[in-house]
Structure 1
Amino acid sequence: MQQLNLKPIERVKTISKKDFLEKYVKTQTPVVVEQLTEDWPAYEKWHLNYIKNIAGDKIVPLYDDRPVRAEDGFNEAHAEMKMADYIDLLEKEPTSYRIFLYNIMQEVPTLKNDFKWPNIGLRLIKQLPMLFFGGENSKVFMHFDIDYSNILHFHFHGKKRCIIFPPDQTKYMYKIPHSLICREDIDFDHPDFEKFPALKQAQGYVCELNHGEMMYMPEGYWHYMKYLTPSFSMSLRALPRNPKFLLKAIYNIGIMRHFDNFMRKRKGQEWIDEKNERAISETHKKIGIV
């Protein structure tokens, strides 16, 4: 069976602010901290039934794994549902529907009392604690974040598999021009190296997150997430420290996404198809594959 070149993300039980900054932030190396949340109320409380009880009446945006289409807006939801109904669906059967980048704290402020802002050296953006939910075997396509943030990714209720690649591996990732994603027909669980040979050269990391564990993902990292069980996660973010990435974030937010939306309206599906073709031709040209 063909497999990606992945090494396990280092794990620690706990970590000091000094060690976190020196060993991981300064070197831009991922790490899983297993016990960072054990003194949080969320460690005991944050299970799906608790979210259902406290936020069950909220209408939530849902995303599935359909390919990007010309008529789709940037991060436009594919469906909506009451949170209680969505959690019932998660616990009943596998579903491709996910909740993505949901700022639930705005609608249910009491949830802010359940976690503590970690004092480990990052200047976290207090307005942006985002939640993500998924059902068994649902997947988040490989992408990187528009703002190149440093991410603290906390997982709750179940188990999730994370495959991540540093920014310097972008040349192997079949990145779609003018976007944050790679080719959506790449199966990162079972990659097709005949169709996508550059992936054989990519070097990344992998981990499985359990309830209460936190993965530090450095700025600009590519990431693919697969929910092994129904579960949810929270991301806390800090702006990129590297000036190059900060400039890229400003470009992505201020120019790139608007240009891409303009071209979608102008050329329709032809623009999407053209970008997908360029992802292969430009990747192979960069690394000398004929």
Structure 2
Amino acid sequence: NLVFSLVVSIPDLNSTQIIATIASRFAVRSFTSLIILNQPRDPCYFGEIIRPSPSIMAVDSVGRPAPSNFTVLVSSNVLNISGLLSIQTEKGTAVFSNIKMPQYNLSTYTEGQRYSLTFFALKPGINPISSDTFSLLQGIENDFRLSAQPAYLQAQNQPFKNILLQLRDGGGRLVISGHSARVDLLLCSNCESSSATSCICQVVNERLYGDGLRDKDGKLVLCSQASSGTIVFEQIVVGVPDDSYFLKFTRYKDVECNQLYPVEGLGRQFTYSSKIRVASFSPVRFLDLNLSSCPSDSSVFVAGEPIKPQPQILGIFDSSNKP
């Protein structure tokens, strides 16, 4: 890191020299290292471009960037990556915005394996550098939804039928493991459509109970992890009747609902059930019967033929006079 001045000497006809300084002082530095400014995200996805785009810079011994331009290559000794793998730097920095991972291949994929990228500068004296390691998953997981909606009418204090969610990757393949979901009970009003996202909602998890949502100490547990590609909530029980409930499901990238799943593009962070009404079905129920459809005391019918008129039930009501 010495400082120089450029001096030019011109001999004249009398063999003497005319010395002139024609440049200001300047430094000459040795750039021997590459640094990675943006590391690949963990995880990455088969068949997808790496995000964020890795960027590389050449620096000297104290971290100052190189002012010159040169070429940087990227490679992997395991992955058959594609895209633009050779970049010309600008002021010592190269941004790789088009590194694409290979397509998923079951015969060559090893679950749990870690991968990395190595960057080389086509300039003498600059050492290569490897990225942080990352795992590979089977495509961006952007399809997170209920495999079947719960019935609109549910009974108070009775378990809903099994609630099933599935997470599929960008190719429509079922993601087998490594994720979970949390359920929250919403009470909504002022809905502009049938979707929970058009309503004003509040979380009312205090109305949830049931053995399937509690641990051994009785604490409410709203998380369920995937098994064979499906997340199951076995017992969702609502203890308070109301006409406008929704279930909200949030996905996580771990199995204990601690780390929210990163979502890009069309990916879904949340999914919602359709509207649910929880009714108070007590032992006392009554029917609203159309009396004019009932046979009179003097009616005579022919054996083997339908009764005319047929009895008409107009409604079935619980003890709260709700159908």
Greater RCO, CA 8 A, separation 6+:
1
Fold in common (TM above 0.5): no
Q: Which has the larger radius of gyration?
A: 2
Answer 1 or 2: which has greater helix percent.
1
TM-score by length of 1: 0.22
TM-score by length of 2: 0.20
